[in-house]
Amino acid sequence: RSLPWTPKTTCCVIVVLKVSAMTKWPEASKPFERVHLDFFHFGGKTFLIVVDAYSKWIDVRLMSRTDSDSLINALNSVFRIFGKSDLIVSDNGPPFNSQAFVDYARQMKIELKKSPAYSPESNGLAERGVQTAKSGLKKLMADPKHGSCKIPELVEVFLFSYRNSYCQALGCSPASKIFSFVPKTDLDSNLKPKQEKVKKRVRFDLRVTEKVIDKRESVNEKPRVRKNDDYAVGDLVWYRCEYKTMRSWLEAVIVGVNSKNTYYIDVSGNTKLASRNQLKRRVVEKNDYIYPKVEPNVIVTPKKRYKRRREKSSPLKTPERPAKLRRSKRVRRRPERYEVFRFHKM
């Protein structure tokens, strides 16, 4: 404890790297009040998944195309069974952003909400439904009993099994939650329960469901979102920008409030829709550390230095010096050969 700790201090690095606070969608009060949509691929085919927020009911439709007309036809087939929805939550895919789909929702009096870019947790119910569907289909493909079935047949088997399976979050199965009765399954046919036991089972499921709901309402959970995370117009924030595998934090300003969890921000003159968990409060002080900006590499070329030209002046005449000789100054003479052996005449 030799180091001091000072609360209410701001540091941009700590603020940026802090885990984002998550918020829940409000509880739905009736079946198909709010549905979450998404596309996914499995086995070379494209599917549309529809997840009900009230009962966790999953509906999967095989899509030959992913245009707006095919999307509208698939939703109409779902709404003919369960009725129209009040709110549709989706991502920013081309079919959901098309003008035809927007006009369809306006005609049906359905509110549309789009999750911000690079924020899949905003549409987490659909993302979780995709994981559950893919996991169930992989298990069915590995089962020798269903090994010869085609993918559309496996989808029907998975949906029947999932809808009649117990869900811990609900306290019952999605089918009994949405229909208020327990559908008959293969397990019921093999066990052949009596009618009285079936009635008791329905009552038990309903009682468990009521207890789960009462427990949620009675337990005072701490709010996950802090009060200081509510942004207003003009607040300075950090915006988490993700591109492929790169992530960076950019300076931004709140320019509008779209909903409780989404805001319009201004990033370098561009207006974007951002989720709450993509934003961090930015406080700039005199002695505060400023998060460095990532700038492109700039190649600096050295400037050429030009020498000043001296004015031409008449050269001074200097006396010429004689060139120095570098050879030896000794006297040269021819060698005397055989001088010792010279013979004289007698």
Query: Which pLDDT tens digit goes with each residue over 113-129?
Result: 988 887 788 888 999 99
- 205 and 98 share one domain: no
Taking the C-alpha atoms of residue 236 and residue 54, their distance in angstroms, rounded to an integer, is: 37
Going by their DSSP bridges, the two strands 34-42 and 45-52 should be labelled as antiparallel
Same domain, 30 and 159: yes
Q: What band does 222 get if pLDDT is binned at 50, 70 and 90?
A: very low
Q: What is the C-alpha separation between 75 and 82, in angstroms, rounded?
A: 11
- Residues 181 and 253 both lie in one domain: no
User: Would you list the DSSP string of 39-56?
Assistant: EEEETTEEEEEEEETTT-
- The answer to whether residues 197 and 268 belong to one domain is no
Work out the number of other CB atoms within 10 angstroms of the CB of residue 114: 18
Residue 122 lies in a domain: yes
Domain co-membership, 36 together with 139:
yes
Residue 14 inside a domain? The answer is: no
- pLDDT greater than 80 at residue 227: no
Closest CA to 63 of 96, 41, 79, 85: 41
Of 181 and 84, the one with more pLDDT: 84
196 and 68 inside one domain: no
Q: Based on the structure, what is the number of domains in the chain?
A: 3
Q: For 4, what's the count of Cα atoms within 13 Å in the CB-facing half-sphere? A: 3
**Residue 194 sits in the same domain as residue 241:** no
Contacts 24+ apart (CB under 8 A), 185-194: 185/160
- Select from 244, 264, 281 the last residue of a domain: 281
Task: Look at residue 63 in the predicted model and tell me its pLDDT.
Answer: 92
- Residue whose C-alpha is closest to residue 253's, from 236, 269, 241: 236
pLDDT band at 159 (very low <50, low <70, confident <90, very high): very high
Establish if 35 belongs to a structural domain: yes
Q: Please tell me whether residues 155 and 31 are part of one structural domain.
A: yes
Q: How many CB atoms lie within 10 A of CB 186?
A: 10
Q: Same structural domain for residues 203 and 263?
A: no
What element of type H or E holds 140? Answer: helix 124-142
CA-to-CA distance for 174 and 171, rounded, in angstroms? 9
d(CA 186, CA 1): 65
State both tokens at 57. 């009911």
Check residue 307 and give its pLDDT: 56
Distance between CA atoms of 273 and 276, rounded to whole angstroms? Answer: 10
Query: Does 321 fall in a domain?
Result: no
Overall average pLDDT of the 204-222 stretch: 58
Query: Token match 């300076």: residue?
Result: 251
Q: What is the CATH number of the domain that holds 66?
A: 3.30.420.10
Which one, of 240, 244, 249, lies nearest residue 277 by Cα?
A: 240
Query: Tell me, what's the pLDDT at 220?
Result: 47
Domain identity same for 39 and 62: yes
Together in a domain, 158 and 188: no
- The alpha carbon torsion through 146, 150, 153, 154 (nearest 10 deg) reads 50
Question: Closest Cα partner for 109 from 134, 135, 131, 79?
Answer: 79
- β pairing state of 270-275 and 279-281: unpaired
Quick one: pLDDT at residue 19?
A: 67
Question: Is the pTM above the cut of 0.95?
Answer: no
Tell whether 182 is covered by a domain.
yes
**Residue bearing tokens 């789009």:** 114
Structural domain of 84: 26-163
Tens digits of per-residue pLDDT, 123-156? Answer: 889 999 999 999 999 988 888 887 778 888 999 9
Residue 250, domain CATH: 2.30.30.140
For residue 339, tell me if it sits in a domain: no
Single out the residue of 152, 34, 31 nearest to residue 88, CA to CA.
34
| Co-location of 136 and 207 in the same domain | no
Eight-class DSSP state of 278? G
| The domain boundary residue, chosen from 121, 146, 163 | 163
